[in-house]
Amino acid sequence: MCGIGGIVLQPGVEQNVRRLLEHVIQIQQHRGPDGNGIWLNEAATVGFCHNRLAILDLSPAGAQPMRSSDGRFVVVYNGEIYNYQELRLALVGKGVLFRSSSDTEVLIEAYRAWGEGILLRLRGMFAFAIYDAVAGTLFCARDRVGKKPFVYAQTPSGFAFASEIPAVRIMPGVDLSIDQSALAAMLLHNLRHIPDPYTAYVGIQRLRAGHAMRVRDGAIERVWRYWDPQPSAVPITAENLRATLEESVRLRMRADVPVGALLSGGIDSSTIVSLMQKHTKVPIHTYALGFDAQDEDLRRARIMAKRLGTSHKEFYFDPEEQRAIFQKLLKVYGEPIMLLPLVHIYSLCRAVRDDGIKVVMSGNGADELFYGYTGHIRTLKISRWLDRVSCLRPFFAPFAKGRLAWLSAPAGKRKASYYEALANSEWADILSEDGKQHLANRAAEEMNYWGVLCPSKRFIDESNFVGLMVENTHSVTTAGDLPAMAASIEMRSPFLDQDVLSFALATPVELKIPSIDNPNWLKAILRDAVSDIIPAELLSAPKRGFGMGIQESTIFSGPWKQHAEELFSMPMDAGGLFNTKSIEKLWSEFMNKPSAASRIAKMFAIQQWLLDQRQ
């Protein structure tokens, strides 16, 4: 686990690559405080840098950038290849001699053996770049659902990449003008972030999840999707789900350092901790956060911790400290994002780090994969209605206008069509007339891209797959990287394992939501799979999201009110994108009636980011 960076100059360009990489190391120090390294080719036209958080093979042999034994290949890599031991055995069978026990060396030797085909063999979370000195190519890739970030820029002088936006920003020639379409996308409906592959800057992008890239002579040659989302062929039973989860947790217990866990007392995190305890003889260190000692999340977490005998700690919300953390996370992330649980996770990860633990597990992704939110009941009702009238879809077109246009859209494009319709109303009262003229709908574009790849034609499955890959990444994959790495901690998410994901894609909705009349038995197949290890009191308890006791409406009308007033009293227009009078009105209306705080929260993040750009 670490921070990565690199530069490949175009022919004839002269640049102090080492100095730039030293700056990248400094910016991303939080991602890897255990060491750092720089590699340059002989001509100093290609260079990699690395911040190390030592998890596997803590010796110098596991350090990066790592060169192959013959010097042909060099790699920088962020993440964990959980099946590295199995891949290592296969490579030893091919005659490979290893110099370390790290998964990094397995990755580079696997590339030598199988080339770009290694992507279909890797089970884990990763973002990496491999330079081939003979071919003169750079091969980059990101894991299937984007658990690890890969940020890059194509400039007139070459290609640059890193783990975080601020590290790429310092590269000469990067276009740092605001991408107004990307920023506007964050204001739409459930989005609380800028969707990949876009960022807040015109000249900086993210490699999409499940994609790879080849660079030659400092220019992007090809970008492609290597992952084809397919349902599992395993029979869909609670027993098989349990076995798949147990294997996922077992693989993620592989580490040369202690592994802790975040424990909210919900089904997801309780399941993970229960399965973790099977693979260690010492108590798991668990951590929970709530509004105060009476918080329901903390009460449930105590029940589970006592049952399992974990070494448990709990923490309480401190509004001033949490605001400082939020501002820090915005600077680390490098663009607007708004999700209070990111702040809570950072607080817990900081406590994990202070206890000398470097790896922590979480229950991220279970609700998205197995339909654990109460809103899924409403989506299922809509989905069933669409199933019944699907043959009439062509006849809807003349009547389905505005927000109802998605009713006539084909399978795979319905969620995108809904977001296209939302833009007309949700942008109307906040964007300037000039700002609206040339905007692209980045949210709808990405939902269309991923929606057609969903293997199911049922609307609820399409909606949730698009949610996983686009709409909810702030609370799923970003939540597993940003706050943890800002605290120098690695977070592992067993529910986001590719085999668990394939199992979920194959699971009929009726096994996830058997009854729309029982909101306390959502993600039913998961509950059935773990009914023997979760107390009945928690198994059937009403759904609570992480940090549910800490609401945005309470924060912005209370402890964060003064700072919000300062931001909203003289709001910035982001180069003419926003109608500042409308922003002031939005805040005034919220103060008169603190409800529907989502838009206030998102605009607060945007205004704080804009202010940071001036400083």
Query: What number is the average pLDDT over the span 119-142?
Result: 97
Q: What is the sign of the dihedral through the CA atoms of 538, 368, 325 and 24?
A: positive
CA 592 to the chain's CA centroid: 35
Query: What number is the average pLDDT over the span 407-433?
Result: 91
The string of pLDDT tens digits covering residues 485-502 is: 999 999 999 999 999 999
In this prediction, residue 403 carries a pLDDT of 67
pLDDT > 80? residue 9: yes
Burial class, 61, CB count within 10 angstroms (exposed 0-12 / middle 13-18 / buried 19+): middle
- At residue 51, the 3 state secondary structure works out as strand
| Pairing state between β 124-132 and 73-81 | antiparallel
- Name the helix (H) or strand (E) containing 50: strand 46-52
Q: What is the sign of the dihedral through the CA atoms of 509, 514, 516 and 519?
A: negative
In this prediction, residue 401 carries a pLDDT of 64
pLDDT > 90? residue 467: yes
The string of pLDDT tens digits covering residues 270-319 is: 999 999 998 888 899 999 988 888 888 899 999 999 999 999 999 988 88
Name every residue whose Cβ is closer than 8 Å to that of residue 271 and which is 6 or more positions away in sequence.
245, 363, 366, 526, 530, 533, 534
The answer to whether 236 touches 197, Cβ cutoff 8 Å, is no
- The segment with the largest mean pLDDT, out of 26-30, 289-293, 395-399, 518-522, is 26-30
pLDDT > 80? residue 546: no
Burial class, 400, CB count within 10 angstroms (exposed 0-12 / middle 13-18 / buried 19+): middle
Confidence of residue 424 (pLDDT cuts 50, 70, 90): confident
The string of pLDDT tens digits covering residues 248-261 is: 999 999 988 889 99
In this prediction, residue 520 carries a pLDDT of 87
Name every residue whose Cβ is closer than 8 Å to that of residue 471 and which is 6 or more positions away in sequence.
189, 190, 191, 195, 415, 443, 447
The string of pLDDT tens digits covering residues 175-206 is: 999 999 999 999 999 999 999 999 999 999 99
Cα–Cα distance measured from residue 605 to residue 327, given in angstroms and rounded to the nearest whole number: 9
pLDDT > 80? residue 323: yes
The string of pLDDT tens digits covering residues 366-393 is: 999 999 999 999 999 999 988 887 766 6
- Name the helix (H) or strand (E) containing 463: helix 459-466
Q: Which domains does the chain have, with CATH numbers?
A: 2-225 (3.60.20.10), 238-365+476-539 (3.40.50.620), 380-471 (no CATH), 552-614 (no CATH)
In this prediction, residue 396 carries a pLDDT of 64
Taking the whole predicted model, whether its pTM rises above 0.75 is answered as yes
State how far the alpha carbon of 153 is from the alpha carbons of 138, 169, 482, in Å: 14, 9, 20
In this prediction, residue 542 carries a pLDDT of 79
Q: What is the sign of the dihedral through the CA atoms of 189, 190, 196 and 198?
A: positive
Mean pLDDT of the chain: 93
pLDDT > 80? residue 567: yes
In this prediction, residue 57 carries a pLDDT of 73
In this prediction, residue 231 carries a pLDDT of 97
- Percentage of the chain surpassing pLDDT 90? 80
The string of pLDDT tens digits covering residues 398-411 is: 656 666 777 778 89
pLDDT > 80? residue 223: yes
In this prediction, residue 70 carries a pLDDT of 85
pLDDT > 80? residue 52: yes
In this prediction, residue 395 carries a pLDDT of 66
The string of pLDDT tens digits covering residues 72-112 is: 999 999 999 999 999 999 999 999 999 998 999 999 999 99
The string of pLDDT tens digits covering residues 324-336 is: 999 999 999 999 9
In this prediction, residue 596 carries a pLDDT of 76
Which DSSP string do the residues of 523-548 spell out, in sequence order? SHHHHHHTTTTS-HHHHTSPP--TTT
